[in-house]
Amino acid sequence: MSFNLSGFSTPSSSDSKNVKVLVLGSGPAGLAAALYAARAELSPVVLTGMELGGQAALTHTIENYPGFPEGVGGAQLGELFQKQAERFGAVVEFDTAQGVDLSQRPFKITTDNGLYLADTLIVATGARPNHLEIPGETEMTGKGVSYCATCDGWFFKDKKVVVVGGGDSALEEGLFLTRYASSVTIIHRRDTLRAGKVLQNRAFNDPKISFLWNTVVTAVDQGDKVTTLKLSNLQTGTASTFETDGLFIFIGHTPNTQLFTGQLTMDEGGYILANARMETNIPGVFVAGEVADNHFRQVITSAGMGAAAAIQATHFLEQEFAQP
């Protein structure tokens, strides 16, 4: 380890590890990529990032992943993915990338624990939940404001909760919260839902769920815990207050791509652009999962992208090896 002038430690090249395939992210995309790269005998290393198993691991039950007719817990599915990849030689490290230099190969990836020199890189860093960005939201996170029903639902036994959003996540998580909460009020900014019909029907038929349409939350009152929200009706402009014990926010996601700004080509939303072979603008760098997918966002599509990225990384290395 060496130290730069600002006092931050910078790994020296003697600390570096050479890998053929480095996978960033341990959600379905990253672990499926690791499985395929491991079976190609490329000894991939997976850096888990902050959330082992990615966002899927925070989902209570996944009912649409084939092979599990009764559904499967998100964390359990993540563990199975990991076990299967490790069985073929993948190494999963609890480490997070802090900087990447993709200007030449091997790519340099600086992490919390060292430096990796990677012949190929598979970016599967996923996405994070969007915030409403209203007064009190940040201050009251952990005191009643949450972005994860599976993590925090239990704290709201027999309490009143509000869910914001009109997509699949809002309804799925709202339905999950009915296990604990005495009532779930879904507040949506329009009067039609974006969520699929199956979830809509379940929510409309659930006696614990009610809807507030054309309404937004404008502030979370601050204190020891959440007690009241400020609301505004977008049609009438009427402001009101709403008593609740919890506020769950499910209004979409932002891709985790800050590390790659200026190096990998992205769309206006910050999603990494790739072709059908999961190739980015830099040869040897591939992507998979929600970091490059704002459309499907399913465990199975992310896993499929991970497999495709690893197959393509394998071809890339084989072609290089075949060159005289």
Q: Which positions lie near ligand NAP, rule CB under 6 A?
A: 64, 132, 164-170, 172, 189-190, 194, 216, 250-252, 297
List the alpha helices (DSSP H) in the chain: 28-39, 74-87, 149-152, 168-177, 197-204, 299-322
- Name beta bridge partners: 18: 117
Nearer to ligand NAP, 100 or 303 (CB): 303
225/216 Cα distance (integer angstroms): 20
Nearer to ligand NAP, 196 or 283 (CB): 196
Nearer to ligand NAP, 170 or 308 (CB): 170
Nearer to ligand NAP, 133 or 158 (CB): 133
Smallest gap from Cβ 96 to ligand NAP, in A, equals 24
Q: Is 52 exposed, middle or buried (0-12, 13-18, 19+ CB in 10 A)?
A: middle
Smallest gap from Cβ 197 to ligand NAP, in A, equals 11
Spatial CB neighbours of 317, under 8 Å, sequence gap ≥ 6: 20, 21, 42, 119, 120
Residue that is written with structure tokens 């290089």 in the block = 320
Q: Spot the catalytic one: 152, 168, 245, 293.
A: 152
130/133 Cα distance (integer angstroms): 9
Nearer to ligand NAP, 95 or 168 (CB): 168
Say whether 293 is catalytic. no
Residue that is written with structure tokens 């890189």 in the block = 121
Smallest gap from Cβ 138 to ligand NAP, in A, equals 15
Q: What share of residues in the chain are helix, strand, coil (percent, to 5)?
A: 25, 25, 45
Q: Spot the catalytic one: 15, 101, 151, 267.
A: 151
Say whether 158 is catalytic. no
49/26 Cα distance (integer angstroms): 7
Say whether 119 is catalytic. no
Smallest gap from Cβ 165 to ligand NAP, in A, equals 4
Smallest gap from Cβ 198 to ligand NAP, in A, equals 8
Residue of this chain nearest to ligand NAP (CB atom): 167
Catalytic residue numbers, as ranges: 148, 151-152
